Amino acid sequence: MRALPLLSLLVGSCMAVPALAANSSPEANEWLNKLAQAEQTQSYQGSFVYERNGSFSSHDIWHKVQGGNVSERLLQLDGTAQEIVRVDGKVQCVGGGLASDVTAPPDTAPRVLDPLKLMGWYDLAMSGKSRVAGRDAVVVTLTPRDQHRYGFELNLDRQTGLPLRSLMLNEKGQLLERFQMTRLEPKVPSDNDLHPSASCKPVAAAAPAGSPVSGWRSDWLPPGFELINSAVRREPGKGGTVSTLMYDDGLARFSVFLEPVKDEGGADVRTQLGPTSAVSRRLNTPKGKVMVTVVGEIPLGTAERVALSMRPQDAQASQ
């Protein structure tokens, strides 16, 4: 459910950003700042629909901000009654089809929308007015400056700054993902609204990540993406370890997984589902054969280039 992080928002050098920002609208900047603040200050409840790869689902959401803490409950209304409860961005329990074999991921840096940073990689513009879920909205567009990220059209509520609709678009303007509120009530949900159902199972904490990854690096990254998290974890029952690195440009994210494989192990993969690309490539390195997998909201060609660029920190890999 990629659209939901927009509800949880919802690099060039400092010398370079102001020059690039000249192509962006100050009013769009102000609205993105309002969006960034709304998630941490505005309680609300409502319903939304989510579309991805031709598939639709409908959901209820309750979002409460109190004493500096943010509590949130999401419930899918069609199909399996999938449920998620989060506190300050950390998953507390999941229900329905999400409940099997789920563990909480290692802590990662929260998404904080920073318009000044985004101006280095996206052109920000005002694109008119709209009306969504019976509420007046302004339309803000984020157009990527290169082919390594997707564009967005955000319809923000005039009263609260919350997102009423978000469209993710590829370089041809084709829709990859849609999030759209059908009901928004800017009021504080009750404790009962936020209380999980009996089918929402507590999420087991992930095993300690151990030391940050220092053994791998990328020879190439899309401009603006920075390493925000790294970890090493053991694979249960396999006896091996998987190294994980997460990268972020302030809006989009992708992860790189590196796992040792035997000569016959692993197959190359290149696939895309909506905005999410997944590429796996086997590399021969001084540390042995490694399967590199890149998964995230970036174009397929970009994901493949990242996968082929991974190297041991202290040596060069060969394909």
Ordered by where they begin, the domains of the chain are 5-202 (2.50.20.10), 216-312 (3.30.200.100)
Backbone torsions φ then ψ of 216, nearest 5 degrees: -135, 150
Q: pLDDT in tens for each of the 319 residues of the chain?
A: 343 444 433 322 222 333 334 467 899 999 999 998 998 899 999 999 999 988 899 999 999 999 889 999 999 999 877 999 999 888 999 997 654 444 444 444 455 678 888 988 999 999 999 999 999 999 999 999 999 999 999 999 999 999 999 999 999 999 999 999 999 999 999 999 999 999 899 986 554 444 455 578 899 999 999 998 888 887 666 667 889 999 999 899 999 999 988 876 668 899 999 899 999 999 988 878 899 999 999 999 999 999 999 998 865 544 4
Q: Which residue type does 8 have?
A: S
CA distance 258 to 238: 14
Going by C-beta distance under 8 Å and a sequence separation of 6 or more, which residues neighbour residue 124? Answer: 24, 25, 28, 29, 32, 115, 118, 140, 141, 142
The two tokens of residue 303 are 């994901």
Cα distance between residue 173 and residue 10, in whole Å: 22
Alpha-carbon gap, residue 118 to 53, rounded angstroms: 26
Q: Where are the alpha helices (DSSP H) in 165-262?
A: 191-194
Q: How many helices (H) and strands (E) does the chain have?
A: 6, 19
Distance CA 174, CA 279 (A): 21
pTM of the shown model? 0.82
